[in-house]
């Protein structure tokens, strides 16, 4: 006879346990901690065929058995992960230069270029630099532009990034409110993002 008990695991007894032992039949009974669950022949066979199966899987004789609530949580987690991947992809993070070069500037790169602009302005004002220009590496193309144009370019990119962040946050919020797996799986998170920018330099 094979029994299962929380913190004890699967135990084989020669005879059935008597009434001195608290016994149950369900997974909830098992979770009580002091209850022995006797496996039937089918559960014993399932355990033999799937030695790495969890107690819940053995008792239900089905691998990865999840409740409806657990399946809903799992579906939401999967969809939220998909949204994260899409948000970080080139489908969202990108702009074009002169209609041909596709590239992106990360927050760190934007911060560095902003510092370059401020440094250039300071050096020009101090008479230590002649031209109020900075050079950006944009998709492998070195673009030398005035600090005023560069400031506007960075501002536009930041504005676009902010709108994308808000769109992603909205999608995440909506996923969390859905109550059926079908609605979650059919949810289209690729909408609501702003049109990509195109700069002419």
Identify the pLDDT of residue 68: 83
- Cβ-contact 158, 165 below 8 angstroms: no
Task: Show the beta-strand stretches assigned E in 63-152.
Answer: 95-97, 101-103, 133-138, 141-146
Sign, CA torsion 121/126/131/135: negative
Identify the pLDDT of residue 132: 96
> What would the DSSP string read from start to end of 9-24?
EEEE-SS---TTS-EE
Identify the pLDDT of residue 161: 98
Predicted TM-score (pTM) of this structure = 0.69
Distance CA 98, CA 197 (A): 11
Identify the pLDDT of residue 163: 98
Q: Residue ranges per domain, the chain?
A: 2-60, 69-199
3-state SS assignment for residue 2: strand
Mind listing the pLDDT tens digit of every residue in the chain (201 residues)?
899 988 677 888 888 998 888 999 988 888 888 899 999 999 999 999 998 888 888 999 988 767 788 888 878 988 998 999 999 999 999 999 999 999 999 999 999 999 999 999 999 999 999 999 999 999 998 999 999 999 999 999 999 999 999 999 999 999 999 999 999 999 999 999 999 999 998
Identify the pLDDT of residue 67: 79
Identify the pLDDT of residue 65: 67
24 CB-contact burial (10 Å; exposed 0-12 / middle 13-18 / buried 19+): middle
Name, in order, each residue with C-beta under 8 angstroms of 146's C-beta and a sequence gap of 6 or more. Answer: 132, 133
Sign, CA torsion 22/3/5/42: negative
The first and second tokens of residue 194, run together, are 């702003």
**Residue 138, strand partner residues:** 141
Identify the pLDDT of residue 34: 86
Buried-exposed string 153-188: b where 16+ CB fall within 10 A, e elsewhere? bbeebeebbeebeebbeebbeebeebeebeebeebe
């Amino acid at each position: 006879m094979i029994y299962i008990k929380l913190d004890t695991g699967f135990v084989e007894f020669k005879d059935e346990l008597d009434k001195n032992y608290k016994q149950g039949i369900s997974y909830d009974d098992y979770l009580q901690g002091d209850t022995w669950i006797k496996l039937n022949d089918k559960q014993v066979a399932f355990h033999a065929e799937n030695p790495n199966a969890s107690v819940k899987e053995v008792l239900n004789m089905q691998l990865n058995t999840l409740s409806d609530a657990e399946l809903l949580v799992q579906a939401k987690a999967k969809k939220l992960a998909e949204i994260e991947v899409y948000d970080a992809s080139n489908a969202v993070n990108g702009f074009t230069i002169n209609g041909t070069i596709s590239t992106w500037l990360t927050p760190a790169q934007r911060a560095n270029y902003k510092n370059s602009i401020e440094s250039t302005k300071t050096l020009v004002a101090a008479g230590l630099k002649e031209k109020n220009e900075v050079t950006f590496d944009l998709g492998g193309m070195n673009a030398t532009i005035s600090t005023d144009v560069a400031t506007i370019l960075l501002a536009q990119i930041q504005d676009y990034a902010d709108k994308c962040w808000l769109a992603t946050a909205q999608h995440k919020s909506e996923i969390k409110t859905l109550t059926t797996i079908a609605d979650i799986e059919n949810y289209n998170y690729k909408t609501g993002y702003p049109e990509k920018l195109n700069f002419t330099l």
